[in-house]
Amino acid sequence: MATKRARAAEAPAESTAEAPEPKSDIEPTFNPKGEMMWESSPSRYIAKISLHTRKEILRPIDPEELLVHAHRDKNPVEVTAQFMASRAIQLTGNEDAVKDGLRRMNALAGSLAESLGKATGLKAVEKQTKKLMGVAERSYIFQFREPSHLSEKEVKGRVAKLQAEARAALKARGRAPKLQVLLTGATGFLGKEILVQAADDKNIAQMVCALRPEKIRDPKTREVVKVLSPQQRGAQLLERLGISGARAKKFRFVDGDIEKPNLGIPDAELAKLEKTLTHIVHCAASVSFDDTYENSYRANVLGARNALELAYRVQNAKGSSFINHIAIETSYIHGRKKRSMALENALAFPRAFYNNYYELTKAMASIDTDRFMIEKGLRVAQLLPSIVIGHSRTGNNYGDTKVVNAPINAFGRSKDQIDKLATDMVGRSKARMIAAVAMAFPGDATAELNLVPVDRVVAGIIAALVVPEAIGERIHLATDNRIRTEDIVRITKEEIGIDVRLTDPTLFRNFTLPLMKIALEKMKEPKLANALDKLATIFGGYGEWGQPIHDVGNDVRILGLPIRRPNTLFAFRMLCRHNKYVQDFGKVRDADEVARRELVWSQVLENIEFETGRQVASISPEEFQRLLEAHLDLRAFKAKKGG
């Protein structure tokens, strides 16, 4: 739960001074047109504190100030220091010692610059020397605003009361509670898995899914040729997921839009939901790591606030059956912490800032969630998945091509292109050039990513429906066996047959990538150049040394999930196999065809496991391909008879 201690700001390394608690009532500012800029400004959630005056700097915060890239690579010396630090960590294995060395070098350079300034009597000399030597010097820090000025004891008391209320509401429904759940984001990657697991969950009597109508456009002219209603979209969705008969009757689809008040649900429907709903599960979000602040804010902050408002309305409706709201955030709300532990219930502004606007806006949404719980008394639990990938056993991802799938697909398509080119001398020459520039992954060998399979995440969400003790908690749905970038490269080579090489992220974004883009554009490969640029944007931050370690335990202790978390190396191996065989590295885009293939794939894998008595992920790539070809017609993607 949120407390003042948990929200203490992380001061920069060069300062140990305590900053005062920021006030939350700063005045809104207006642009030249007279429009208020306060509503979507990060200043609503974050205060910028001067280290000289100890007071808040009362100006709107530019969202870009809160990202990692705004505070790095400003000087060649800094770039060199980051690169050398990476190599030192790999050689010594002692990250703390290397970071301490960087701080000492920074302090020494600062002292030297100050001495030169005093010797010359010119402040400008000191300032310019610091600039030339890449001295990191910050005159301010950022702090999250407190959701409440209550004491930690008072907050705990309120949370205990909310848990007791939820426990009583759940108990009143008996041993078979027959829950009525409203879900946002049903058509997303996570939402689809929720539908699959909910279809067989005996506690869930009905799941109402809020969806927008979908415009179907002509692929060439982009003209709208048809509009699918939420009900039509829902029927199509269930069919693709293989949910039919009595299982399908559990689901109902209604008009909705998370960016509108009351989630855009019509008044007549709202009147019904106020009397019947027991839970709201809000998992709709923009999961684009390279999206703009404006888009991320609308989807992740405004959408979350609208869901919270609706949950509060339903909870307080006359005759309400409401138990609690479940907000789906991300464990990366903790930002870049340079390998310090990202505790589940603590949230402090990260001294190393955020990788992207997705992380930032999710942190802002989490603060709003705290406010609704503490100030208004909303019964709410926060579940925080790490980077979600396909199913732990099959790799199935319902056609998702984002996040970790993106680089695997890019490498796979590059290999296909190289193989096609290598048919004559000119083609082979071009293929070698493409391979030289395209097979690089911006990642430090020591960097670790926290990947969690979608089935583990959804098991946590479903469990939280009947665990009142989750209210007031932040629960990481993450893993304790993280995957190193060097493992990603090794498994990619084994599964796809391509030699991807790790390249230092600092050098990649500053030198290698610009040269690569020029080379690929000259070779008339603009799509590949764009893919590499996108890869660097998405993964540049996560591939650097100093990634946070996500504290885990509440998923087992509170939600009762199995203590043995999915094997991340196995899950990533199945991701590669799924992308290669089922999606043909993103080339199979038709949703109906992907759905058909995934159902076939699941059955074939089950047959192979029954035949061998082993998990398919434990079988070597060569043996797996032989077994797969014996059971599956890869061209038609149909199971062979008797296979």
User: In CATH, what number is assigned to the domain containing residue 321?
Assistant: 3.40.50.720
The verdict on 276 and 425 lying in the same domain is no
User: Residue 242 falls within a domain, yes or no?
Assistant: yes
Please list, residue by residue across 347-357, b when 16 or more beta carbons sit within 10 angstroms of its beta carbon and e when fewer do.
bbbbbbbbbbb
- Are 324 and 408 contained in the same domain? no
Residue 349 has pLDDT above 50, yes or no: yes
Indicate whether 29 belongs to any domain.
Answer: no
* Dihedral over Cα of 516, 521, 523, 526: its sign: positive
pLDDT at position 16, please? 28
Residues 186 and 271 in one domain: yes
For the chain, what percent of residues have pLDDT higher than 70?
A: 82
**Is residue 33 assigned to a domain?**
no
In this structure, the answer to whether residues 163 and 284 fall within a common structural domain is yes
Could you give phi then psi for residue 90, rounded to 5 degrees? -65, -35
- List the one residue out of 241, 239, 242, 264 whose CA is nearest residue 254: 264
DSSP state letter for 301: I
* 13 domain residue, yes or no: no
pLDDT tens digits, one per residue of 424-473: 666 677 667 666 666 778 888 878 899 999 999 999 999 999 999 999 99
Same domain assignment for residues 604 and 501: no
- Looking at the fold, whether 573 and 634 belong to one and the same domain comes out as no
Query: Among 72-76, 301-305, 566-570, which is the least confidently predicted range?
Result: 72-76
Burial class (CB within 10 angstroms; exposed 0-12, middle 13-18, buried 19+) of 254: buried
Task: Tell me: pLDDT of 36 over 70.
Answer: no
Cα separation of 602 and 69, whole Å?
41
Name the 3-class secondary structure at 410: helix
For residues 347 and 345, what is the distance between their CA atoms, to the nearest angstrom? 7
Per the DSSP assignment, residues forming a β-bridge with 252 are 208
- Mean pLDDT, the chain, as a whole number? 85
Q: Is residue 370 part of a domain?
A: yes
Report helix, strand or coil for 441. strand
**Whether 381 contacts 460, CB under 8 Å:** no
| pTM value > 0.85 | yes
The total number of residues written for the chain in this structure: 643
Calculate the dihedral angle through the C-alpha atoms of 471, 475, 477, 480, rounding to the nearest 10 degrees: -150
Looking at the fold, whether 185 and 90 belong to one and the same domain comes out as no
- Distance from C-alpha of 417 to C-alpha of 163, rounded to nearest angstrom: 57
The strand ranges marked E within 573-612 are none
* C-beta of residue 490 within 8 angstroms of C-beta of residue 464: no
Same domain, yes or no, for 404 and 472? no
* Dihedral over Cα of 128, 133, 134, 137: its sign: negative
Longest dimension (CA), the chain: 88
Specify if 54 maps to a domain.
Answer: no
Are residues 465 and 607 both part of a single domain?
no
How many Cα atoms within 13 Å fall on the side-chain side of residue 581? Answer: 27
State what percent of residues in the chain have pLDDT above 90.
Answer: 60
Nearest 5 degrees, angle CA 626-CA 632-CA 636? 130
pLDDT for 641 beyond 90: no
Contact yes or no for 273/314 (Cβ under 8 A): yes
Of 233 and 89, more confident: 233
Residue range 114-146, pLDDT digits in tens: 676 677 777 665 566 555 555 556 678 999 998
In a domain, 288, yes or no: yes
- Domain count along the chain: 4
Question: Are 295 and 187 found together in one domain?
Answer: yes
Residues 293 and 423 reside in one and the same domain:
no
Q: Does the residue 45 lie in any domain?
A: no
Number of alpha carbons in the 13 Å side-chain half-sphere of residue 235:
4
Range of the domain at 127: 75-133
Q: How far apart are the first and last CA of the chain?
A: 52
Residues 465 and 427 in one domain: no
Bridge partners of 215? 227
CA atoms within 13 A on the CB side of 171: 7
Q: Are strands 440-442 and 501-503 parallel, antiparallel or unpaired?
A: parallel
With cut-offs at 50, 70 and 90, classify the pLDDT of residue 253.
very high
